[in-house]
Amino acid sequence: MNITFSELRNIKHQMPSGSVGRIANELGINEQTVRNYFGANKFEEGALTGKHVQPGPEGGVVSLEDTAILEIAQRIIQENKLGM
């Protein structure tokens, strides 16, 4: 899947507090790996996230190999909007 870096960061900023931990717990991964997925670059603590960034407008285009983190983030945002 391709998404602009700006769109990816916007999704991250829409997530309510505690979402990074929730995503990490659901997937059984390190919280820093989730942060890296959304643009952090602290790989000594978190794993690589299977993404590749091509330079360009809006921060470039991010090619995501695995969309599981993104899908959970979008679900959490939607739940938050519905007050779940």
* Structure tokens given for 24: 């990490």
Angle between helices 19-27 and 68-82 (to 10 degrees): 130
Question: What is the pLDDT at residue 26?
Answer: 97
Question: What is the pLDDT at residue 67?
Answer: 93
Residue 61 forms beta bridges with which residues? 4, 54
Q: Is the pLDDT of residue 18 over 70?
A: yes
d(CA 47, CA 80): 27
At 83, is the pLDDT very low, low, confident or very high (cuts 50, 70, 90)? confident
Question: What is the pLDDT at residue 27?
Answer: 96
d(CA 34, CA 38): 7
| End-to-end alpha carbon distance in the chain | 28
Model pLDDT for residues 19-44, shown as the tens digit of each residue: 999 999 999 999 999 998 888 776 56
Residue 6 structural domain? 2-82
Question: What is the pLDDT at residue 84?
Answer: 67
d(CA 14, CA 74): 9
Question: What is the pLDDT at residue 65?
Answer: 86
Number of domains in the chain: 1
